[in-house]
Structure 1
Amino acid sequence: MSLVGQSAQGQGDVLVFTVRHWVKALNVTCTATNVATNVVATATKQLQVLAGPANVSITGTDLVAASTSYTYSCHAYCQPSCTYAWKLDGGAWFGGQGNTISMTPWETYNPISLTCKATNSVSGMFVSATQKINVTSGPSEVQIKGPDTVGIAETHRFTCTAECLPSCRYLSSVDNQTVRGNVVEMRVDHPLKSVSLKCEAQNTASGKTATAFKTIKIRGPDSNASPRLEETSTTLLLAFMIYAVLKQVLWMDL
């Protein structure tokens, strides 16, 4: 018994061998010799060599928008070939799509798990790969956190928050004076009835925006000043310090 191109051990009519690297096929030869007549006969058998699946991976974006179609491809090393099946989150496996599928994600704050299973078409052995897909969402639940009433000469901090995936960038304003960021420190040094705060949150991926407003009442002995005095004095007498702190990204192109 012999095996072309491979190391093998033959004893009588039994051959033992291990394939060290992939080849398309192997030829096993058996030679029989009549010990009395020295007549020789030979038979050859071709063996198909299987490999994989190995190196399974998914190709496609990991950040998507809800209600938009996206295409993903699965790749694996298989000999002679692989079949593919897909699964979303904890759902059932589905096939018939080959190694490429199209999916339309739903809006969620949790990542979607996309799994591809590659199966060797002959051996039945399989390996899977999973990709986490984040869906852009928000901004929602935009709010300005801080006291509703402040006193004259007191310093207070107001913070704008929003539910956003990926992160939001913020634009804050105090009585129409605008800064970048979601944190405002404010101090009123003169009598006013109220101060208006505004915060705009923008999703850095989708570009969607949402706005929150907050009216801060001013507490003090002269807080009941006449409307005329307030109207003429707001611009000149409102003294505040604003410090903008971006959460994760700068507000660009403003």
Structure 2
Amino acid sequence: MKETHSCNLLLLLLHLAGLLGSAVTNAGGSNGISVLLDPVIVGPDFVTVGVPCSFECVAQCFPSCNYTMGKDGQVEPGNNLFFTVVQWKETLTITCTARNTSGVSSTVEKILQVLEGPNNVTIIGPDLMTQGYSESFQCHAKCHPSCNYTWTVDQSLVGNGGNITINSSDFAFPVKLDCQAENSVSGLYAMASRTIPVILGPSEAEIIGPDVVVVGVRSEFQCSAKCTPSCDYFWIYEGRLVNGSKMEMTANRHVKSEMITCRVENTVSAHSEVVRRTIRVEEKSNATKVTQIMSLFLFALTITLASVISP
């Protein structure tokens, strides 16, 4: 019975060795059987600069195995590897060696693609847009191997790719422009945003102030218009040029009317608009003259009384 049992055990071990094939190493001779199935490195096929990653090495061993793992030739004990790539290069190689207690060992390596980004996403283009005109913008990011780009304006998808052309008239003012850069392999993404003012005007220019001025009395007028980003104001009165949105004038002579002119100019586009206004000029009223005469009379009366009362 003992011989039959020994034969059955031997046949079972031989069958097991046949199933493992070339992946199984037999050693130890009459002292026993050592089995080591080639180790496998478990983890992603790529790593990203600045992003922590981990790998594990597993193998079927009999007796038990000890492991060493490393990257680019730097080896440490254990079957887990944790690291963060700090600088981009095309590939990185990690290795694993499994060695069982009988001295049988096997080594495997895994070549990883190194990714980077997207970093430093930037929208390049004009700082201003002109109403009714189209402008082109470019989106750039530091990416390996490459990035895909998606554009939105005012949260509405408007296009894909590194370049886009938009017309300011199709959107609200100012234009809110966003670019999303997505790494073509890892799917990691980052965004850049810009708010682009739209050059408007001048439009709806007007002169605000009295319709009638009185000779010798100072009057103030203000010129206003819709402008983006801003406008300069120039007044023309009696052949003189006055800068600023406000102007003070005093009519020195009695004429039927005076013409004042305001020219509004956009500080960026230099587009301008001119508005004119005719102001009626009047002399001081009789009531005003009477008031002045009465003031003079009272002043003279006061002087006279003072001289009479004084000794």
C-alpha spacing 1:47/1:219, structure 2 compared with 1 (3 Å): same
Q: Does the Cα contact within 8 Å between 1:160 and 1:182 map onto a contact in 2? A: yes
Quote the residue 1:105 is aligned against.
168
Q: Does the Cα contact within 8 Å between 2:69 and 2:81 map onto a contact in 1? A: no
* Residue 277 of structure 2 corresponds to residue 214 of structure 1: yes
Quote the residue 2:154 is aligned against.
89
Q: Does the Cα contact within 8 Å between 2:182 and 2:190 map onto a contact in 1? A: yes
Quote the residue 2:137 is aligned against.
72
Quote the residue 1:204 is aligned against.
267
Quote the residue 2:197 is aligned against.
134
Quote the residue 2:69 is aligned against.
2
Instruction: Give the residue type in structure 2 aligned to 1:21.
Output: V
Instruction: Give the residue type in structure 1 aligned to 2:154.
Output: D
Backbone CA RMSD of aligned residues? 2.4
How far does residue 152 in structure 1 lie from its aligned partner after superposition?
Answer: 1.8
* Residue 214 of structure 2 corresponds to residue 148 of structure 1: no
Give, in whole Å, the separation in 2 of the partners of 1:183 and 1:6.
Answer: 77
Pairwise mapping of residues 183-202 of structure 1 onto structure 2 (< 5 A)?
183-202=246-265
Deviations 1:171-211 (A, max 9, x none): 21124433333322111132221111111111122222111
Q: Which has the higher contact order (CA 8 A, sep 6+)?
A: 1
Name the SS for the 1:54 alignment partner.
strand
Rg larger in 1 or in 2? 2
Instruction: Give the residue type in structure 1 aligned to 2:90.
Output: K
Name the SS for the 1:49 alignment partner.
strand
Pairwise mapping of residues 43-54 of structure 1 onto structure 2 (< 5 A)?
43-54=108-119
Choose which of 86, 98, 103 in structure 2 pairs with 1:32: 98
How far does residue 107 in structure 1 lie from its aligned partner after superposition?
Answer: 8.1
Give, in whole Å, the separation in 2 of the partners of 1:108 and 1:72.
Answer: 15
Quote the residue 1:242 is aligned against.
none
C-alpha spacing 1:184/1:108, structure 2 compared with 1 (3 Å): farther
Give, in whole Å, the separation in 1 of the partners of 2:272 and 2:158.
Answer: 37
Q: Does the Cα contact within 8 Å between 1:9 and 1:17 map onto a contact in 2? A: no
Quote the residue 1:225 is aligned against.
none
Aligned length: 218
Q: Does the Cα contact within 8 Å between 1:155 and 1:186 map onto a contact in 2? A: yes
How far does residue 79 in structure 1 lie from its aligned partner after superposition?
Answer: 2.5
Give the TM-score normalised by structure 1: 0.77
How far does residue 86 in structure 1 lie from its aligned partner after superposition?
Answer: 0.2
Quote the residue 1:21 is aligned against.
86
Q: Structure 1: where are the runs of 5+ without partners?
A: 223-254
Give, in whole Å, the separation in 1 of the partners of 2:171 and 2:94.
Answer: 58
Give, in whole Å, the separation in 1 of the partners of 2:127 and 2:100.
Answer: 68
The structure with the largest helix share of the pair is 2
How far does residue 148 in structure 1 lie from its aligned partner after superposition?
Answer: 0.8
Quote the residue 2:291 is aligned against.
none
Give the TM-score normalised by structure 2: 0.64
Pairwise mapping of residues 157-168 of structure 1 onto structure 2 (< 5 A)?
157-168=220-231
Instruction: Give the residue type in structure 2 aligned to 1:138.
Output: G
Name the SS for the 1:61 alignment partner.
coil
Q: Does the Cα contact within 8 Å between 2:70 and 2:81 map onto a contact in 1? A: no
Name the SS for the 1:53 alignment partner.
strand
Deviations 1:198-238 (A, max 9, x none): 1111112222211111111122258xxxxxxxxxxxxxxxx
Give, in whole Å, the separation in 1 of the partners of 2:83 and 2:97.
Answer: 20
Give, in whole Å, the separation in 2 of the partners of 1:82 and 1:8.
Answer: 33
